[in-house]
Amino acid sequence: MNPNQSARTTIPVLGARTPGLGRLRFCEARVPDPVLGEWIAIPGPAGEEPAQVVVTPQQVAMERLPRPLPAVTRRLSAEEIARVAELTEQARAALDRALDVVREAGLPAFLTGLRFTLDGATALVSYRGDEEQMAVLASTLAGALGLPVHPEREGPLEPAAEHLFGGVGRLRIQEDDLDVIVAARFDTLGSETFAPEGLPRIGRRVQTPDGPGILLSVSTRHWHATVRLDTGTEVTVPIADLTPVGG
């Protein structure tokens, strides 16, 4: 290395899933050495939310971010982790109540989910409908649930989920974090396509049995990976079948 050349600084990024929220959320990792399955606190629009790490910084090494990401600064305590299951059960009951309230009030809103902040003080309700319905929806549900409600307007549902009322259909999220990161063609450092634990790094180019492409996601449960081929097609293949491009 040229002694006059400054070392490039990477920005650690992790991916996490929040109970009650289908999409993956990417955050800047400011906690040391987060590992798969670990519970962390993610900054949300109404306060901290619990989330579980599903993509580690070893899989995403970045010199720049496509846009500012929320920063994760702490892990959950044992007491907070134990409370996650309780909050999830409470959210299910609250969603049933919210569905009844929306139906009885005749509000033109399609509820797609409900979750609580980590302290349980605020309900975050996702819905499909007009933006003008936000204030009415929030005030109506706040009165019924007995706590503040933060509404989140989602994108349109896939046609196959149009008949679901309050079900968790697959949402076409506009400007999803992962899509933005992949579209930005961020530059990961080094030549290693795979992290030390054998997991391929998100955003790397890999070779699949169907051709080369960019790695979009990894399922650690099934040990499969989703790759967007250069043809534009997305395929799911076993991680064992992936090799670095040119490898």
178-192 pLDDT tens trace: 444 444 333 333 445
**Which CATH number applies to 80-161: 3.30.300.20, 3.40.50.300, 3.40.50.620, 3.40.50.150?**
3.30.300.20
Mean pLDDT to the nearest integer, 156-173 = 33
CB atoms within 10 A of CB 30: 12
pLDDT tens-place string over residues 65-124: 666 788 999 999 999 988 888 888 898 899 999 999 999 999 888 888 899 999 999 999
According to CATH, the topology of domain 191-244 is SH3 type barrels. (2.30.30)
Q: How far, in Å, CA of 63 to CA of 10, rounded?
A: 5
First-to-last C-alpha distance (Å) of the chain:
24
The Cβ of residue 9 has, within 10 Å, a number of other Cβ atoms equal to: 7
Whether 246 has a pLDDT exceeding 80, the answer reads no
The shares of helix, strand and coil residues in the chain, as percent rounded to the nearest 5, are 25, 35, 45
Question: Where are the domains positioned within the chain?
Answer: 11-79, 80-161, 191-244
